[in-house]
Structure 1
């Protein structure tokens, strides 16, 4: 009897290729149970990475809004400890005073003032290193156990590489404020924030996809595919534009809502030849227009999925998140960009992207599982 079972096990790959439904039998095999446990562990690990990046985004927002991002003027990727005594603090402050921001904008700062801004940037960098450890160590364990398919492991290593790139990009951004001006380049800030959003939502996408039932994943219509991809393009553009707005402090350029000082038309608001990527008011205007386009697009997604309750709920989640985001955005500009409201705006924006990525994955628009995965009840890479 044992021999016959072994023969059946050996034949499983052939049976899968032939499309034979063996999921019920295979689920009783000990190695399948181990694989399932490993997959659950991997999905939880991805969710932790996603949540930690969200925390990093919020912490980065506080760091930027408090003017703390240029307080550490050296790139020390292995540094863990802050200054531990008065001598070390004095040396750190002297280095800061040699930077453009320390000389021009914050020359008045004493040591206690400097400690406050240093704490935010230090916490942001330390959180990034902790995220690197949380990504690397479980990935190393998963690779050593060899329970996950190569494609899934490859995705994990790619995610780790994105984290390393994000750290390098963060320093590239900071360097732009250490040369001849006391602020970072708004394009580099946009690159840094956009990559953070991208890495987090790669983790979210993988966590959802690896737990999906391929047989239950719908085959979306062409219209739904187009609408979803348009929404994804718009939301990517909005992340970039939001970062540009933040980098140029463009939220202060029009403290009125929904109008711009009583006007709406681009020519009336911006004049004849606006500098679309440099002028704070132009950046602010485009940011609001993209938000309206996203609302229209999300409304179309709700209409297209109305007859499918599961997808309809997901599309309604996208639309609801957008309305919350617009409300918080109005609060930000009307209150002259208070730190708490501005950070909340960034976090809710992160939530909008998450809702849309989850919708696109569940709708089968992003990464539809292969037919091989259907025989095992799990998606394949």
Structure 2
């Protein structure tokens, strides 16, 4: 935003973005916990400002519980199961924490950005990129409410399509934060040319994105419970699935087929990441190690999650490492982009 390059502080801004990226990893992890505990529909209203305060009295808690009692999830699942106010509080808190992290990320981007702009320490050409990242946080919050709204009237859960958009937007934000922070760090070292996406990184990113979408669909449809064996499902390579509504419907809605696609497309993603990491290694061995470590741990966690019938802690770690894999990919892609 400023032409006064002598006042620019790219190193400071890079550290700021790395901190925000860590917060995004945290919210993705808490989002996984929210999904696994079926907490996402516990707060049935969207109040960007007033919603920052939790219920402060017994009457407030009762009012929130009564709102929850009006939606299908309570009426068809948790109500018949005997959910009381104390049980409701346990799911409410996870969704509340998830939303507060979203607010914190927004503040952590918008407030420093305004201060840095006023103090004219943003390097030339970077203001609008930083502004776009801040705007993406707002869009992410809107997608979050859009997702929740899908489960408030007729469904007992949220749309897995909207869940995928919500999650993937967060991961795109994470990648953008890492990439921009690395550009700024490079600028701080007096290398002025920003990195550019190279073909191998583009194709690897597309393949990884498909895997992330499939993972979100698995979460949204509880498709992880479709099988507790590996590598076979239902004692066969390709499981039986619902073909009655056509192949396209099955590819996008059937939990057995989506689970199968997620577990086998993972190997396509691994192959792409290996090829990319081999190109990264001569340029930055640390980034190559990060990519290999992230996808290796992720594969182990994925198999373990399946074979334990979606153990809570393993499933949470699977989502956490998925976010770290995106960060490692962005690092490696940036390394290639600097050299290209």
Fold-level similarity (TM above 0.5): yes
Q: 1:277 Cα shift? A: 0.6
Q: 1:243 Cα shift? A: 0.3
1:179-198 mapped onto 2 (5 Å cutoff): 179-198=153-172
Partner of 2:136: 162
Whole-Å separation in 2 of the counterparts to 1:329 and 1:365: 32
- SS of structure 2 residue aligned to 1:146: coil
Partner of 2:38: 67
- SS of structure 1 residue aligned to 2:201: helix
Partner of 1:292: 267
Q: 1:198 Cα shift? A: 0.6
Whole-Å separation in 2 of the counterparts to 1:330 and 1:303: 25
Q: Is the 8 A contact 1:228 1:365 kept in 2?
A: no
- SS of structure 1 residue aligned to 2:154: coil
- SS of structure 2 residue aligned to 1:276: helix
Whole-Å separation in 1 of the counterparts to 2:128 and 2:221: 38
Unaligned 5+ runs, structure 1: 1-12, 14-30, 369-381
Q: 1:269 Cα shift? A: 5.2
Whole-Å separation in 2 of the counterparts to 1:131 and 1:296: 33
Partner of 1:8: none
Q: 1:311 Cα shift? A: 3.4
Q: 1:217 Cα shift? A: 8.4
Deviation string for 1:212-263 (max 9, x for gaps)? Answer: 257598999xxx9433322111111111110011000111111111222332
Partner of 2:276: 301
Partner of 2:310: 337
Whole-Å separation in 1 of the counterparts to 2:129 and 2:193: 21
Whole-Å separation in 1 of the counterparts to 2:315 and 2:107: 29
Change (3 A) 1:316 1:218: farther
Compare CA radii of gyration and give the structure with the larger one: 1
Whole-Å separation in 2 of the counterparts to 1:269 and 1:53: 37
Deviation string for 1:26-61 (max 9, x for gaps)? Answer: xxxxx76642xx222211111111011111111111
Task: Please state if 1:104 is matched with 2:79.
Answer: no
Deviation string for 1:169-198 (max 9, x for gaps)? Answer: 100000000011110000000000000001
Whole-Å separation in 1 of the counterparts to 2:32 and 2:18: 21
Q: Is the 8 A contact 1:205 1:361 kept in 2?
A: yes
Unaligned 5+ runs, structure 2: none
Task: Please state if 1:241 is matched with 2:214.
Answer: yes
Q: Is the 8 A contact 2:280 2:287 kept in 1?
A: no
Change (3 A) 1:286 1:252: same
- SS of structure 1 residue aligned to 2:315: helix
So what's the TM-score if we normalise by structure 2? 0.90
Change (3 A) 1:303 1:90: closer
Whole-Å separation in 1 of the counterparts to 2:101 and 2:227: 34
Q: Is the 8 A contact 1:245 1:284 kept in 2?
A: yes
- SS of structure 2 residue aligned to 1:74: coil
Q: Is the 8 A contact 2:151 2:157 kept in 1?
A: yes
Q: Is the 8 A contact 2:280 2:335 kept in 1?
A: no
Partner of 1:346: 319
